[in-house]
A and B are shown apart, each in its own frame.
Chain A
């Protein structure tokens, strides 16, 4: 029973992190129709910016996190405006551009920071122990920030003109543009929002786990898996799928081991694609 509860604690913690990543990933696909292969790169960059702010500039960690969000959002904005925008309807070109950006970010990080993991730690350490169940304090802090960020994202998308504009473009770009929506402003904004979320996750999670030039690779795989499960382009689906992935990963790894855990996740996605190709909450045709 204790093992069961411990797995639940781990699953929720993993799910919150995956949700932040997957929401950004699916936001970009839903609004721009772009599969962002640089998403793991923005996660990694968020970690490195936060690390640089703390270690090189001596900033307090909360400011470093804000700096990481600002830097990754700014890079996302510039990249969308000057590179993606020109080829936005060419899916192969945008795929290659984002993949290229990921290679630039990862190789650049390797060149600047070296191949070794950085000495970068979360300011809050320790764990609450309830018998043999433990809840790391740092995970609790990250969980609260993640849930707040998710709520803020929901508010932006569903309670502001910006969000309404973004959703309108996602639903039907031609009609939205005819109504006065400006893709040249809204597309970079959506991309910046998504990359800022990836940067936020990187700044929060890398000091808990590890920060090295390879940390973006598994992030991309997990984000991709999560949004496919949730339905590409579906925000609610991504959030739901993130917690399902977190729980499945936690329970299968605890009860069947690390190898089987990864396998179960892929089998689950495979079965879903066979029986429900649009994912949990995805639609059959993307409007944009």
Chain B
């Protein structure tokens, strides 16, 4: 009896859980289909002086995800999956971005929208390569892209691409500029931009000197005293964070400087105006605008309010970052995975650069970096003269 019950018990032992597990597994599969998620990272400085840029990066990722989710999600393996954005504050530092790459990798995230600054780009490149992650940086560093990091993409060209056209346009508006002093932070986020800007000035017959300050400086009065000792015709704030640039403008005017002030670096004119005390203080100003503003481009803010349900982070960085986030969503859908960064990158390279709001652009970067993985849309050159905003002139890629 005992002998005969043993095989039965064994059969029951083997098959009962199996039988029970079938409907359980089926239920789990159904639940998985309903809760299918694709996680995408968003990285940038989300606190501190450059927070606007990082929040704009996360905002672009959130908006692109919201667009996809509004259509039912992204198609992966025959299922529609919800896109979830996982933000990471990389604090505008190399170690912050490297740690962010690892933190996102630990959650299985292989695609990252971001980071923003040059120190962050330097930090993330080798770590993301080791983690086999695709990332988009928006840095103006001389080595923002490198052929040895084929999974790294670039959101917008650096000054090497547009600074010459910028200087020429500025000199048309302010022909008296014969010398310029460039001021920027003394890290890669400052030196890589100011030194390239300086070459563009020199190539156009303008004497250029460079002055660097410790990031975190709050009072620029001593640096301004040093700058003005050389009597420059113009001062260019290059890639100084907008808050810093606003204080520099305010203190330059207090010191009696009456010449034009330039900004051949990151966006932030609105914030500069707010900090320095308004357009009458700024008076003569020329700046690089990452996005050539149109009605359609401005619509992005309304779209953000509608789909994300929050106020947009402000400034133009959200607009400039959005095409990269949108293309990434398409590439994930075409690749049918967000877990294989190489497949997503391969699909990304095939996509045409044509954004519903930003219009047509091109893939660039081959000439400057040796790898054609940079988005290039029309950019703008803004001019304020005698306290009047003359608007932003649209400059097409290749200008």
B217-243 toward A: CB 8 Å interface, digit per residue (1/0)?
111011101100100000000000011
CA distance A259 to B218 in the complex (A): 13
Check B226–A117 contact: CB distance below 8 A: no
Of all chain A residues, which has the CB nearest B314? A116
Interface-centre pick from A107, A119, A126, A250 (highest chain B CB count, 10 A): A119
- Give chain B interface residues in 153-205, CB to chain A under 8 Å: 186
Q: In the complex, are the beta carbons of B243 and A117 less than 8 A apart?
A: yes
Say whether A117 contacts B277, CB under 8 Å: no
Cα-based distance from A114 to B55 in the complex (angstroms): 10
Q: Once bound together, how far apart are the Cα atoms of A263 and B335, in whole Å? A: 50
Taking a contact as CB atoms under 8 Å apart, the answer to whether B218 and A218 are in contact is yes
CB pair A212 B214 closer than 8 Å: no
Give chain A residues whose Cβ lies under 8 Å from the Cβ of B275. 117, 119, 210
Which of A14, A117, A251, A255 has the most chain B CB atoms closer than 10 A to its own CB?
A117
Given A115-B313, A118-B274, A253:B222 Cβ within 8 A: yes
**B-binding segment of A2-10, A86-94, A232-240:** A2-10
Q: Is B51 located at the chain interface by the 8 A CB criterion?
A: yes
Contact of B256 among A3, A129, A209 (CB under 8 A): A129
CB atoms of A125 and B219 under 8 A apart: no
Question: Given the complex, which residues of B lie within 8 Å of A125, measured CB to CB?
Answer: 254, 277
Contact B212 A257 (CB under 8 A): yes
Q: Is the CB of A213 within 8 A of B255?
A: no
Chain B residues lying within 8 Å of A250, measured Cβ to Cβ, are 221-222
B271 cross-chain contacts in A, Cβ below 8 A: 116-117
Contact across chains for A116 and B225 when beta carbons are under 8 A apart: no
Q: Can you list, as one digit per residue, whether each of B243-269 has a CB less than 8 Å from chain A (1) or not (0)?
A: 110110000001110000000000000
Residues from chain A with Cβ under 8 Å of B95 in the complex: none
From residue B60, how far is it (CB to closest CB) to chain A in Å?
15
Q: Which residues on the B side are within 8 Å of A217 (C-beta)?
A: 48, 216
B 45-76 binary contact with A (CB < 8 Å = 1; else 0)? 01111011001000000000000000000000
Q: A14-B221, A257-B212 are in contact. List 14 more A-B contacts (CB 8 A).
A: A10-B222, A110-B47, A116-B270, A118-B274, A209-B218, A213-B48, A218-B217, A253-B226, A254-B222, A255-B226, A257-B226, A258-B186, A258-B214, A261-B214
Interface residues of B in 285-322 (CB under 8 A from A): 313-315
Question: In this assembly, does A141 line the interface, its C-beta being within 8 Å of a C-beta of chain B?
Answer: no
B247's contact among A114, A209, A254, A259, by CB below 8 Å, is which?
A: A209
Selected A-B contacts with CB under 8 Å, 11 pairs: A3-B229, A14-B219, A107-B47, A118-B274, A210-B246, A214-B51, A217-B216, A219-B218, A221-B216, A249-B222, A259-B186
Q: How far is the CB of B298 from chain A (nearest CB, A)?
A: 18
Instruction: Give Cα distance in the complex from A194 to B99, angstroms.
Output: 36
**How many angstroms from the CA of A250 to the CA of B223 in the assembled complex?**
8
Q: Mark B343-357, 1 if CB is under 8 A from A, else 0.
A: 000000000000000
Question: Of A6, A110, A212, which contacts B243 at CB under 8 A?
Answer: A212
Residues of A within 8 A of B222 (CB): 7, 10, 249-251, 253-254, 258, 261
* CB proximity of A69 to chain B, nearest CB, Å: 21
| A126-148 to B contact mask, C-beta < 8 Å, 1/0 | 11010010101000000000000
Q: Inter-chain contact count A-B, CB under 8 Å?
A: 114
Q: How far, in angstroms, from A257 to B222 measured CA to CA in the complex?
A: 8
CB-CB under 8 A for A259 and B49, given A6-B225, A215-B218, A254-B222 = no
Q: Who on chain A is nearest to B47 by CB? A: A110
Task: Tell me if B132 counts as interface (CB < 8 A to partner A).
Answer: no
Choose one: B48, B223, B246; the contact of A253 (CB below 8 Å). Answer: B223
Whether the Cβ atoms of A259 and B225 lie closer than 8 Å is: no
**Which chain B residues lie closer than 8 Å to A253 at the CB level?**
213, 222-223, 226
- Bound together, the chains give a CA A119 to CA B279 distance in angstroms of 13
* Complex contacts, A259 vs chain B, CB 8 Å: 186, 212-214
- Chain B residues near A106 (CB, 8 Å)? 47
B-contact 0/1 string along A192-220, CB 8 Å cutoff: 00000000000000000110111101110
Q: Distance in Å from the Cβ of B245 to the closest Cβ of chain A?
A: 10
Assess the B212–A13 pair: CB atoms within 8 A. Answer: no
A219 cross-chain contacts in B, Cβ below 8 A: 218
- Flag whether B211 is at the interface (Cβ < 8 A): yes
**Given A13-B221, A249-B222: A262 and B214 within 8 A (CB)?**
yes
Q: Are A114 and B314 in contact (CB under 8 A)?
A: yes
Residue of A nearest to B185 (CB): A258
Q: A167: CB under 8 A from chain B? A: no
- A114, B275: Cα distance in complex, Å: 15
A121 at the interface (CB under 8 A from B): yes
Evaluate whether A210 and B247 lie within 8 angstroms (CB atoms) in the complex, with A215-B218, A257-B211, A259-B214 already known.
Answer: yes
Instruction: Give Cα A110 to B48, complex, Å.
Output: 9
Contact with B along A246-278 (1 / 0, CB 8 A): 000111011101110110000000000000000
Measured between C-beta atoms, what is the minimum distance from A43 to chain B in Å? 10
**Which residues of A lie under 8 Å from residue B213 when comparing CB positions?**
253, 257-259
Q: How far, in whole Å, are A126 and B213 apart by their CA atoms in the complex?
A: 25
Residues of B within 8 A of A6 (CB): 225
Complex contacts, B47 vs chain A, CB 8 Å: 106-107, 110, 115, 213-214
- Complex CA gap A91/B242 in Å reads 38
Mark each residue of chain A from 81 to 100: 1 if its CB lies under 8 Å from any CB of chain B, else 0: 00000000000000000000
Residues on the A chain within 8 Å of B216, using CB: 217-218, 221
Smallest CB gap from B187: residue in A: A259
Instruction: Provide the residues of chain B in CB contact with A258, threshold 8 Å.
Output: 186, 211-214, 217, 222-223
Residue among A213, A214, A261 with the highest chain B CB neighbour number at 10 A: A214
Highest count of chain A CB atoms <10 Å: which of B46, B48, B223, B247? B48
B311: nearest chain-A partner, CB-CB: A114
Chain A nearest CB from B248 CB (Å) reads: 10
The interface residues of chain A lying within 8 Å CB-to-CB of B256 are 127, 129, 132, 134
Contacts A117-B242, A119-B274, A259-B212; A110 near B221 (Cβ below 8 A)? no
Contacts of B223 in A (CB 8 A): 253, 257-258
Q: How long is the Cα–Cα vector from A126 to B48 in the complex, in angstroms? A: 29
Residues of A within 8 A of B225 (CB): 3, 6-7, 10, 254
Complex Cα gap A215–B48 (Å) = 8
